[in-house]
Chain A
Amino acid sequence: MSVKYETVIGLEVHLQLATNTKAFCGCSTKFGSRPNSQVCPVCLGFPGSLPVLNEEAFRFAIKTALALNCRIQELIKFDRKNYYYPDLPKNFQISQYDMPLSYNGFVDIAAADGRRKRIKIKRVHMEEDAGKLIHPKGENYSLVDYNRGGMPLLEIVTEPDMNSPQEAYDYLTKLKSILEYLKVSDCDMEKGSLRCDANISIRPEGEKKLGTKVELKNMNSFKGVKAGLEYEVKRQVSVLEDKGKLIQETRLWDAEKGVTASMRTKEEAEDYRYFPEPDLVPFVVDKNEIEKIRETLPELPEAKAGRFQKEFGLSDYDAGVLTSQIDLADYFEECTKLYPDAKAAANWLMGDIMAAVNARNININELGLAPAALVGLLKMVDSGSISGTMAKEVLAEAIETRSNPEDIVKKNGLAQISDKGSIEEIVKNVLQKETKSVNDYKGGKKTALGFLVGQVMKASKGKANPVMVNEILKKSLGE
């Protein structure tokens, strides 16, 4: 008898806010600079230095909290989270403990059955990032770069509301989409500006009590999060099926080996001895101020998808895909301003163009194909000057060589012959030459038509509009 298990997942996302300067000092947040060149007495924790909160970081935080449907704390204070580790020059991290900036929000995702599923957000709070440690191989020391130390972070924590690795993936995709709309972070996982840890446990179906939870770290892509969670589900089920006991621990995802491994460290409960940060005064955002910030919220993915369906007659699915990334949504909308057939534009975008974007792992704006250029291509298809098949080839070349589709068509003389007179002329010549086939056709051998079409296409070097060739041929043959 095998027991069925239910998976329970909660996620914790750390987001670097895209401010010019750090959370509590005027040092730059630029990525990839010379080590320890973006540090000052404040972010190095020198005695006598005082932190002062970055107004823009605070505004970004409130904006994000509102977009995630959170309630804003009436009195916001900061706390010190104390622990000794060399990536923290002060031996504490300025964070928020019992009065986080915001709480009780939610994000809706599309569940497996197509309905919406609400993932509750427990809290969104501000904190500062730690420095970066480098461990030279075979040495007994570490090197520290504090450029990242003190960068403004948001920690976004969900309730354990997800029941499959796929749901966790869907939540992250949706969250990232919202964050990109807000333009509060570049959300680049490779640079570490968006990081995700997971809590995962399983329990027999129907059981109310949560199972033993494992904290999963070291996933550096959304696919990694999903793969790591999938591995954990299997591992935990097999432990329980072998009558084993799960232990509460932190495990690291090893993307190369495709396994999770125990960190075997946190033997004792974490003891951070939080207390209020006395160097920062409290923050109170009054209702008017909150409303003012709320007014600066952009149209978010769901609202935009709804509008795309209504305004352009797109399907639920298409609207969802096109609004999943703000750049894609903006690109599409730009196309619709220049071109009436939104559905056709959507199809091209979601087909060949997204394929090219994904294959290159870039953003649509980096493709080098302006909306006007795409529209130019669509118009050439509509007017019959190129065929749909040819358009695909032209598009591929336009992307490859970063040139304008219309220029490619002109330069290579690809324009289809859709001029009735010209085609009639070619047909006349072909019929004069191919008397045998003409007689065959008239004698009832209908397949001869295909041969004649082929001859006309050949004579036109493939440029004649095939639909017109067919029509004109049939007419000339007396049908």
Chain B
Amino acid sequence: MISYIKMKTIDDKTVKHVAHLARLELSDKELKLYSAQLASILSYISKLNEIDTANVPPTSHALTTLKNVFRKDILRKSLETDEAIKNAPASEGDFFKVPQIIESTDRVQDEGK
């Protein structure tokens, strides 16, 4: 596990960006730690690049033999409204209630642009 630290870290900026896209707040300490860990994972995964896949068709799914799984266009019972919003952290009337998002202005400030 110590080896994380020794690995070449991926760009802090990249990790910060990805964390922001996932709406995760990272302290500087966490940022360093995750950068190192992600670098390790990426380097491990990059081993796959050593295999020659020139003649292998792209695989988009783990179950390569399974395809064309459909359902018929037939109505099924939905949840009752009360049931649907029961577990929501906040609700009002028939609606889920969420903090208002003023799109991206927070993002701009975050990144000091």
Residues of A within 8 A of B (CB): 19-21, 25-28, 34-41, 44, 52-58, 75, 77, 82-86, 99, 134-135, 139-146, 263, 265-268, 271, 273, 276, 278, 280-284
Contact = CB atoms under 8 A, between A and B. Distances in A.
Contacts of A143: 92-93, 95-98
A300 to B, nearest CB: 24
B78 interface: yes
B100 interface: yes
Nearest to A271: B21
Interface in B70-113: 70-81, 84-85, 90, 92-101, 103-105, 107-108, 111, 113
Interface stretch (B4-12, B33-41, B56-64): B56-64
B23 interface: yes
Contact of B94 (A36, A99, A142): A36
Contacts of A135: 100
Contacts of B84: 36-37, 39, 44, 146
Given A21-B75, A25-B76, A84-B22, A141 B61 contact: no
Nearest to B71: A52
B2 interface: no
23 contacts: A21-B75, A27-B76, A34-B94, A35-B93, A36-B81, A36-B94, A37-B78, A37-B94, A39-B78, A40-B78, A55-B71, A85-B103, A99-B60, A134-B95, A140-B100, A141-B90, A144-B95, A145-B94, A268-B111, A268-B113, A278-B61, A282-B61, A283-B68
A266 B98 contact: no
B100 A281 contact: no
B94 A53 contact: no
A25 B79 CA distance: 12
Q: Give the interface residue-count category, chain B.
A: 35 or more
A59 B84 CA distance: 30
Contacts of B23: 84
B21 A21 contact: no
A37 B98 contact: no
Nearest to A83: B21
Given A265-B104, A278-B62, A284 B74 contact: no
Contacts of B90: 141
A36 B95 contact: yes
A438 B45 CA distance: 111
Given A36-B85, A41-B79, A283-B67, 11 more contacts: A27-B78, A36-B96, A52-B69, A86-B101, A143-B93, A265-B103, A266-B104, A267-B104, A268-B104, A271-B21, A273-B21
Contacts of A145: 94-96
Contact of A82 (B17, B21, B71, B73): B21
B66 interface: yes
A34 B78 CA distance: 12
Given A58-B70, A86-B101, A281 B61 contact: yes
B67 to A, nearest CB: 5
Given A77-B60, A77-B61, A35 B95 contact: yes
A247 to B, nearest CB: 14
A20 B67 contact: no
A265 B104 CA distance: 6
7 nearest interchain CB pairs?
A: A26-B76, A143-B95, A56-B73, A55-B70, A35-B94, A144-B96, A86-B98
A20 B73 contact: yes
B101 A75 contact: no
A53 B78 contact: no
Nearest to B58: A75
A179 B5 CA distance: 58
A60 to B, nearest CB: 10
A266 to B, nearest CB: 7
A26 B63 CA distance: 24
Contacts of B101: 85-86, 142
Contact of B100 (A21, A75, A139, A280): A139
Nearest to A276: B60
Contacts of A139: 100
Contact of B75 (A20, A36, A37, A75): A20
A93 to B, nearest CB: 14
Contacts of A38: 78
Nearest to A54: B73
Contacts of A280: 61, 69
Contact of A282 (B21, B60, B74, B78): B60
B64 to A, nearest CB: 9
A28 B75 contact: yes
Contact of B74 (A21, A57, A146): A21
A141 B77 CA distance: 30
Contacts of A140: 99-100
Nearest to B62: A278
A52 B104 contact: no
A40 B71 contact: no
A261 to B, nearest CB: 14
A37 B67 contact: no
A176 B96 CA distance: 34
Give the one of B66, B95, B103 with max A CB within 10 A. B95
A88 B100 CA distance: 14
Interface in B9-58: 17-18, 21-23
Contacts of B103: 85, 263, 265
Contact of A55 (B73, B99, B111): B73
Contacts of B99: 140-142
